[in-house]
Structure 1
């Protein structure tokens, strides 16, 4: 049987989770899955990458303690490869994608199944509610939950139910996944957006339900965050190369900021050496510097807004917001100009996570 064909599934739910270096988060993520109350059979398939932090041993112990947990290998460590391996090894008619850095809210799966039935959609997703433990992680989480941080996608805090461009994680009909060919294994980041594009092009609906909530734990350090966003931006640039303006306009804001910053540096150099003076210098200064000043003021305002936490968290907010935008923007421009190629999310490699309480 071809790899992309799936046996006729039984009525039930298969949770699928790619895992790599997630020792600090895996057990909490697994518990949130196994705690879902369903009236149909359920299983959890973990696709194990070559972890170096003890994740694999932990996964094996969890599987030994609960027969609902099954393990498959993902030696390539790439997320879409692991997802496809888990889907092919699973048995049930509904596929629920779960991230090892996330925790499903109580009743998540049951509500999602009801929404699938009620709407006739092929894929249903809800709100990604970011949370944090340290001042840095809480600052990142606050920006994840803000339209200023990640551009206002519905799953970052939308409140209106309806059709959507994409879905966070996703509760999917397996027959539709089989129809469109599962995840594209040539895409390392943004694979969910690309899958949902093919689902919509095939005439099916992707649905956002704000009553569904998933807790997401962001990266724990500035360097890991910057690496994550650079890789994500590079693959968005690759998706723009492949699909052009099917990508939303919001994806072009960070690279525009990078281009504006580069232009400001060049203008400053020409002004310092006297190559640009007088009226032309004043006009260019207004056109280039004022938008950057406005952006700096925006960063400071966001950091100072109520609910921003203590002084350390506010300082991290002021540092994290431009880090997210500039890292993503630099990655995007590289992805557009030369393709993402073999860019991977290096923040997932060689982790040093602090266990969740």
Structure 2
């Protein structure tokens, strides 16, 4: 009988941590509070934080020996995950994010799904929940098709095989077998790892039974930075693996180019109309940004309905920030400029 065939195989929670003083305690407490009855350990890979994150982790480790901290001098997400996975001892690896809060039944349902499906990795839904009007606007964008494209791990769907999964509950042996996370990929490393799992005969499994609470970035600056970095690496991955591209990935960059080109042509056309030039027809280009503006307003009315006025107003800012941040990032990431830019985009 393999370890996974036992009723309650041991699980190792692995979490890269960097500057997460605000959220780290609630994230770890949600792991300790799991109703799973099997043995577990919590491995926190600590990057070079500049806030009190490491002090908070030290306090938790002193109070509970099942919480262990490990050094992650590189500070990146894939490096931290690999540090923690290598140090883990249990056959099931549960990836956790410092911005996530797991419901108490998460591990129990995830292990059951692994055993039921025979998959190498199981994931569920990222349910974004905000605390401020700005964060609530971001959460609404995350959970709507107009925000992040309507993938199952954002809006839900039918249980079954999938391309990738949010966070992930893995067979540790398969992680080791395919070489762990690629530390050269700072964002999108989960998609790339799942690609290797599938390419070597494995299965990635989605189940709507798993719902993880995710805390959005608390400011517009951090949100834009997040999506520019995500877009950069998505563009890089699209360049590395062109056969894996889908229309969903291409919509934001096409939208960004269309809106900017339309705006440029429109301004040229307006200037031409003033001087009586035949190029006045170019003002029709303003239709592109005009249509996008109407789309954003309609999305705010529909996707953010039921929210406060402040949240809906923030939605008008949040949605373009996500689209343009991701779209600009993708364009640069797909170009040869990627290697020069991604080094400065953080985790």
Indicate the TM-score class for this superposition, using the shorter chain for normalisation. Answer: over 0.9
1: CA distance between counterparts of 2:332 and 2:253?
10
2: CA distance between counterparts of 1:81 and 1:247?
26
Distance 1:61 1:345, change over 3 A: farther
Deviation at 1:281, TM superposition (A): 5.3
Confirm whether residue 171 of structure 1 aligns to residue 169 of structure 2: yes
Distance 1:296 1:103, change over 3 A: same
Aligned to 2:293: 296
Deviations 1:256-297 (A, max 9, x none): 11111221133124324439965x754x655x4434322211
1: CA distance between counterparts of 2:137 and 2:263?
28
1: CA distance between counterparts of 2:207 and 2:224?
30
Aligned pairs, number: 338
Aligned to 2:136: 138
Aligned to 1:13: 11
2: CA distance between counterparts of 1:233 and 1:197?
18
Of 167-176 and 291-300, more deviation after overlay is shown by 291-300
- Cα-Cα RMSD: 2.1
Deviations 1:225-269 (A, max 9, x none): 011110110011110111113032211111111111221133124
Confirm whether residue 34 of structure 1 aligns to residue 32 of structure 2: yes
Aligned to 1:120: 118
Q: SS in structure 1 opposite 2:156?
A: coil
Aligned to 1:355: none
User: Do 1:238 and 1:339's aligned partners in 2 also have CA atoms closer than 8 Å?
Assistant: no
2: CA distance between counterparts of 1:169 and 1:211?
14
Aligned to 2:213: 215
2: CA distance between counterparts of 1:336 and 1:212?
33
Deviation at 1:20, TM superposition (A): 0.4
Structure 2 gaps, min length 5: none
Deviations 1:157-178 (A, max 9, x none): 1231111110000000111111
Q: SS in structure 1 opposite 2:166?
A: coil
Deviation at 1:338, TM superposition (A): 2.1
2: CA distance between counterparts of 1:202 and 1:94?
19
User: Do 2:110 and 2:210's aligned partners in 1 also have CA atoms closer than 8 Å?
Assistant: yes
Bigger RCO (CA 8 Å, 6+ sep): 1
Distance 1:339 1:83, change over 3 A: farther
Equivalent residue runs for 1:1-357 within 5 Å: 11-274=9-272, 282=281, 286=284, 288-305=285-302, 307-341=305-339, 343=342
Deviations 1:186-231 (A, max 9, x none): 0000000110111111111101000100000010001110111101
2: CA distance between counterparts of 1:245 and 1:277?
46
What is the TM-score normalised by the length of structure 1? Answer: 0.90
What is the TM-score normalised by the length of structure 2? Answer: 0.92
Deviation at 1:310, TM superposition (A): 1.2
2: CA distance between counterparts of 1:209 and 1:345?
35
2: CA distance between counterparts of 1:301 and 1:89?
49
Q: SS in structure 1 opposite 2:184?
A: coil
Deviations 1:7-61 (A, max 9, x none): x999410000000010110000001011112232100000000111100011111
Of 90-99 and 289-298, more deviation after overlay is shown by 289-298
1: CA distance between counterparts of 2:154 and 2:170?
20
Deviations 1:100-142 (A, max 9, x none): 0000011100100000010111100000000011000000011
User: Do 2:268 and 2:283's aligned partners in 1 also have CA atoms closer than 8 Å?
Assistant: no
Structure 1 gaps, min length 5: 1-7, 349-357
